[in-house]
Amino acid sequence: MGELNGQTYLVTGASKGIGRSISLELANHGAQVILLSRASGELDQTLATVQSSAPTSFAVTCDLGEASSIDAAVHHILAEVSELHGLVHNAGDIHPIKPLFGADTADWTRSMMVNLVGVQHLTQALGSALQGEHRTRVTTISSGAALRPLASWSAYCTAKAGLDMWTRCLAEEGAQHNITAVSVAPGIVDTGMQTAIRSAPPEDFPLLDNFVGYHVNGDLSDADTVAKALYGLITAHTEGQSGQRFDVRDL
């Protein structure tokens, strides 16, 4: 029996990258894991692997950029479980990688929906499963982009900065409901997001060579290694830590 036996965790962006690794780590410690992601073969494969350790785990398809998709996902989740002991807001979208004056408004708006507004919508809609006598730990995956502006990342930087403040607000208000919340920057991790960054047209992204160099020089962290480092914070952060921002390199 794992130390998380009897607990249920929801992980967004769970089909690949850090989300996949976190889901597997939680399942390996006995948690029932709800994998939230857009429909894909990767989601199906990740679910099968998670269920080999935690058979009651299940997947829910959801596009965090669409309000109706979030509502449908929450309806599905609440029909299956009444309590969530942990919520990991990992899903994120780096697009659009465009200069501020050249970014399409619809693309910029979708980035804010996926990276920030959808987080609020999902959390609020799951309120009945988060609030109660049980302890709920919420973890948001932040970024160094929350602290410093990067050329052509205006939407992502703005959303991540907002996400850090949202986490602090949840920590402040959630205390009365036995909810704690922390944010953590995972560093530069070898995921599909990094592939998308390296695929950006050089005329749109002045820092392209830097990110290509991170990959060539082997500077990217492995998602499984990052998930193991984050595990303790996700599952055991304290009330005293609630509202704080962490960096995986300090854990």
**Per-residue pLDDT averaged across 134-144, rounded?**
97
The predicted pLDDT at position 54 comes to 97
Does the predicted TM-score (pTM) go above 0.75? yes
Which amino acid, one-letter code, is at 34?
A: I
Q: Which residues contact 54 (CB under 8 A, 6 or more apart)?
A: 26, 27, 30, 31, 32, 33
What DSSP designation does 85 have? S
Spans of all domains in the chain: 8-187+224-241
pLDDT band at 49 (very low <50, low <70, confident <90, very high): very high
The predicted pLDDT at position 251 comes to 83
Question: Would you state the structure tokens that stand for residue 215, as one six-digit string?
Answer: 């990959």
The predicted pLDDT at position 173 comes to 97
Q: Which residues contact 183 (CB under 8 A, 6 or more apart)?
A: 139, 140, 141, 142, 146, 163, 164, 167, 244, 245, 246
At 78 the three-state DSSP class reads helix
| CA separation for the pair 172, 164 (Å, rounded) | 13
**Per-residue pLDDT averaged across 15-19, rounded?**
97
pLDDT at 116 over 70: yes
Computed over every residue of the chain, the mean pLDDT equals: 97
User: How many CB atoms within 10 Å of residue 2?
Assistant: 14
pLDDT at 1 over 70: no
Contact 11, 37 (CB under 8 A): no
Residue with tokens 């089909």: 15
Question: What is the percent of the chain where pLDDT is above 90?
Answer: 97
Q: Is the peptide bond before 202 cis (omega within 30 degrees of 0)?
A: no
Q: Which CATH class is domain 8-187+224-241?
A: alpha beta
**Per-residue pLDDT averaged across 222-231, rounded?**
97
Q: Which residues contact 190 (CB under 8 A, 6 or more apart)?
A: 215, 220, 221, 222, 223
Express each pLDDT in 63-109 by its tens digit: 999 999 999 999 999 999 999 999 999 999 999 999 999 999 999 99
**Per-residue pLDDT averaged across 234-238, rounded?**
97
The predicted pLDDT at position 249 comes to 87
**Per-residue pLDDT averaged across 14-30, rounded?**
98
Q: For residue 132, give the nearest of 72, 179, 172, 87 by alpha carbon.
A: 179
| CA separation for the pair 244, 81 (Å, rounded) | 28
pLDDT at 130 over 80: yes
| CA separation for the pair 83, 177 (Å, rounded) | 13
